[in-house]
Structures are given as C-alpha cells and as structure tokens.
Structure 1
Amino acid sequence: MTRPVVGIIGNQYLINDQYPAHAGGTMNSEAVSGVSGCMPLLIPADPRFVSVAELIERCDGFLLTGGRPNVHPEEYGEAATEAHGAFDRARDAITLPLVRACVESGQPFLGICRGFQEVNVAMGGSLYPEIRDLPGRDNHRMPPDGTLEEKFALRHRVEFSENGVFHRLMGARTVMTNTLHGQGIKRAGARVVVDGHAPDGTPEATYIDGAPGFTLSVQWHPEWDAANDPVSRPLFEAFGEAVRAWADGRRAVPVLRSA
C-alpha cells in the first residue's frame, strides 16, 4: 500500500566549507515515517529547482523544518542587522508562498522552529532577532556543549489555552519541551492564533484561524525522539492523519474542529 508523501523542506549547507548540499535531519524523516506513517521526501527549497505549484501537486503534506538560517527580515519589512544571523533567501522564496497556498487550499503542514517562524511571517507577522536579549525573557538557544541528548533535553514548560487545539490534542494544558531557537514571534500574523506560551511569555504553539486544513506549528523540536515523547507523538500522529485524509480526498482534519 502506497504511503502518502510528506515533503520535508531541506536546508542549504556547505560540506567542508566548500561543497554545496541540500540536507535534512534524519530525525525528521524518522518522525514522518515511523510516527506519521508517511513517506518522507526531502525537498531542495530553492526556486531554481522546484516551484510551489509542483510541490503542491506532488506532495500530500509538508514538514517545515528547523534550520540555522533565519527568515530574512525584509520579508516582514525590517532591515537586516548582525543580530538577525544568517539567511536562506531561496528557502524563503519557496516556503512563504507555500504556506499561504496550503492555508488557502487546506493542504496540511506542520511547522517546526524556523518553520514555525516562517508560518508567522507568511501570514504577515514579524520576528524578534534574539529572544534572550528581551527584558524578562529566557535564553531559548541550544546549549553550546554536550551530547545530542543533553541539547534536546526537556528544558521548559509550555502552557496551552484552555480547551484550545493543542490542549485537546495533547490531553494536557501544560507539557515539557526542548528549546533550541534564538528568534521568536514579535507580532502575530493575520489569523495566527498563539495557542501556547513558555513561562517567559514566548509564543510556542500556533495554528491558523479558520484554515480548512492542518496548520499546527511549534517553536520547539518535536522530531527529537518523536516515537517515545508523549508530546511529540500525538502531534506527528495527528499530522499523519491529516496527510492521509488529504491524500484520500476527504480533506477532514478532526484535530481542528471546534470544541
């Protein structure tokens, strides 16, 4: 039986500071295949190689992954500074219109970290360049040292809205998550509902109000140990259900129905 296809948005890298490559974390593919039950397909996010129309036609859903380059601030009307870090304009050119197309059509996507930020920018929102520099905010960045287990360890709580989409999905209002990001939502985009916050007020979970499909996004990295983590597993399972519904032509997204 053919599995539905999830396009995993790749990132650009230089191998040995010389050889250009598109790549995606293995744990993203593991989560999509093992938990969502879909076939992962790595997408070179560059308009020289793919178009949004082609991706929508070939894929049943999309995983908007994390990545070191940030969304360019020109995409939300601000000038670039050193604090904004590195950029990937080619990925911006694919993912931002892709998000808007999926919101309109109901094709499912799941946003993670940079993907969470892309969804906000695509809908007209803006970002802070560095959360830890804001008064009263914590350092949400990945620990610079340690094993992968230590870097992806659960580090703070996320509290969801009472009876909101994430509360119903998780079966709990408060969960523990990892945190490996520098930027965060400054102004929420049109129809972007912030459904979960970290203790310092940083937005951590969103969906698009009134969208006909699955539009959940999270600021943390649920792909880490997705098969075993009690927060990651229901998220990827619900995403897989939405992707299968799209592939089957049903378009039903139970997790987004009103309480």
Structure 2
Amino acid sequence: MARENAVSGRPLIGVSTYLESRTSWGVWELPAALLPAGYPRLVQAAGGLVSMLPPDDPGYARSVVDRLDGVVVAGGPDVEPARYGAEPEEHTGPPARERDAWELALIEAALASGTPLLGICRGMQLMNVALGGTLVQHMEGHREQVGVFGTHAVKPVPGTLYESIVPDASTDVPAYHHQAVDRLGRDLVPSAYAADGTVEAVELPGPAWALGVQWHPEMGEDTRVMAALVRAASRAAS
C-alpha cells in the first residue's frame, strides 16, 4: 500500500481513463487517453490527489495499485458481453477490450490488496463482472434520454456502507446508463435501489472498502461518496 503524500497530506487516487482512437484539440488530431474533467475535480474537492490510469498491460496492475492509496474505475463504454459469458445484443455498444482487460486487472489488484475501490457506472458493472456477475445489456424504456444526463432517486439499503455515507431516505443522482447489474457477483450485496428495482449501488462487506455506484457523482455537486473513498484511502495509507 502506498504511503500518504508527505507534503500535501492528501491521498493519491488513481482514476482509470478512456482510450480514444481519434480526438481533436487545437491543431492536433491524435489518439488520446482522456478523462472528463468532472472526475479529477471531484477527487480534488473531496481532498485527494489524482493520478490518471490509462489502459496498460494488465500484468502491471498490481504494481500500479501498490503505489496508490485508492482506485476509481470510471464510467465509459459497455463491458464486452463475452466477459460474462453472453453474446452481444442489438443495443450493446462496440467492445473496448483494452479498457476491459486493464480495469478488470485494477479491480482484482485493489480487492486483493485491500486498496479502497470505487466503481462509477461502467466501473460498478465491471466490479460485478470481475466477481462473476452478469449484466442486463439494455434496459427497455430506460429513464435517461440518449446522450443526456438526467436525474432519478435512489434509496439506500439500511445497514450498508453506502447508507452510512448517504443516510438520506432518498437522493436524486445524476445518471445516464442503459445497462444494469443482473446476477450479483460473489459476495457483493446491493446497497441502493432505484424506484423501479434497478440495483444502483453494490458493495463488498468486510474490512476492505469497495463500493460501486451506477450513477455519475462527478456530474453533480454531492461529494459524499468520493469523500468517503478519500477518507478510506487516508486511513489505509497511514
């Protein structure tokens, strides 16, 4: 486990990134590893330092995680259905195999080492897949419009880690997703639901801090979930 930064006193949080084959900025048009600014801003607002983790050889994941105080697996494209033993359906997006392999390795390394772990949207779905779970590939009549973030209410499950972080009876969260958790992975428990019964948060009970949320906290003003990760990372580092 990495030590807390001696100068800043702020834990180092690694956040996985997109890998895009064609991105433009200024006069440049190149492949890019990128991360929407909401992620680093949220980590910084919660008291952490940010390290971007673009896709790499999965064999390096453990050594990378050992240098971090916490890990965030960010949102992004659909998980390849082959990862959970399914064929792609009509509405499933193209695979991002480099991201799948890298982020699954990050998740496995974080869980093996007890490094605090937060999965956001795709990240929560990958946590479920990493532990043997499956996904609903398309939610018919899903709440959000295509390409537009909306909000909906989630309710915590009493007695869970998530409920201890966000004890409100109901919270409106920013979200955009057309996939969801189907069969839960090993030892995962649901810790929040939407009104329609969709699992909106999952966690691993036990001494390690591992939480996944289906929504996008980086698109809102509520820092409580990220702040809880940063506090867990600070405790682990010290």
Per the TM superposition, whether the score is higher than 0.5 is: yes
User: Aligned pair count?
Assistant: 226
Matched, 1:30 2:27: no
Rounded Cα–Cα distance in structure 2 between residues aligned with 1:109 and 1:168: 16
Shift of 1:33: 1.0
Q: Which runs of 4+ in 1 moved over 6 A?
A: none
- The within-5 A match list for 1:10-21 is 10-13=17-20, 14-16=22-24, 19-21=30-32
Cα distance in 1 between the residues matched to 2:213 and 2:23: 29
Task: Give the structure 2 partner of residue 234 of structure 1.
Answer: 224
Shift of 1:8: 0.8
Say if 1:140 and 1:9 are closer, same or farther in 2 by CA, change over 3 A. farther
Report if aligned partners of 2:71, 2:110 keep a CA contact under 8 Å in 1: no
Whether 2:59 is the aligned partner of 1:59: answer no
Change (3 A) 1:160 1:130: same
In structure 2, relative to structure 1, the CA distance for the partners of 1:162 and 1:172 (3 Å cut) is same
Are residue 124 (structure 1) and residue 119 (structure 2) matched? no
Cα deviation code 1:147-170 (max 9, x no counterpart): xxxx445x2111111232222211
Distance in 1 (CA, whole Å) between partners of 2:107 and 2:209 is 11
Alignment of 1:168-247 (within 5 A): 168-210=164-206, 212-225=207-220, 229=221, 232-247=222-237
Root-mean-square deviation over aligned CA pairs: 1.8
Distance of 1:58 and 1:88 partners within structure 2: 25
Describe the SS at the equivalent of 2:118.
strand
Q: Is the 8 A contact 1:140 1:179 kept in 2?
A: no
Q: TM-score, normalised by structure 2?
A: 0.88
Distance 1:162 1:4, change over 3 A: closer
2:16 aligned with 1:9, yes or no? yes
Q: Is the CA contact 2:144–2:177 (under 8 Å) kept in the aligned structure 1?
A: yes
Q: How far did residue 142 of structure 1 move?
A: 4.7
Cα deviation digits, residues 1-22 of structure 1 (max 9, x gap):
2332111100111215x62111
* Residues 91-147 of structure 1 deviation map (CA, whole Å, 9 limit, x = unaligned): 11111122122223210111101101010001100111111x2xxxx4134554xxx
Segments of 5+ residues of structure 1 without an aligned counterpart are 145-150, 249-259
Higher strand share goes to which structure? 2
SS of equivalent to 1:83 = coil
Inter-partner Cα distance in structure 2 for 1:91 and 1:44: 8
- Aligned counterpart, 1:42: 52
Match of 1:148 in 2: none
Compute the TM-score of the two structures, normalised by the length of structure 1. 0.81
Give the secondary-structure state (helix, strand or coil) at the position aligned to 2:109: helix
Moved more, 109-118 or 83-92: 83-92
Secondary structure of the corresponding residue to residue 240 of structure 1: helix
Identify unmatched segments of 5+ residues in structure 2.
1-6
Match of 1:187, SS? coil
SS in 2 for 1:81: coil
- Asked if structure 1 preserves the Cα contact closer than 8 Å seen for 2:193 and 2:201, the reply is yes
Partner of 2:102: 94
What amino acid is the match of 1:7?
G
Q: For residue 61 of structure 1, report the CA deviation from its aligned partner.
A: 1.0
Q: CA deviation at 1:40?
A: 0.6
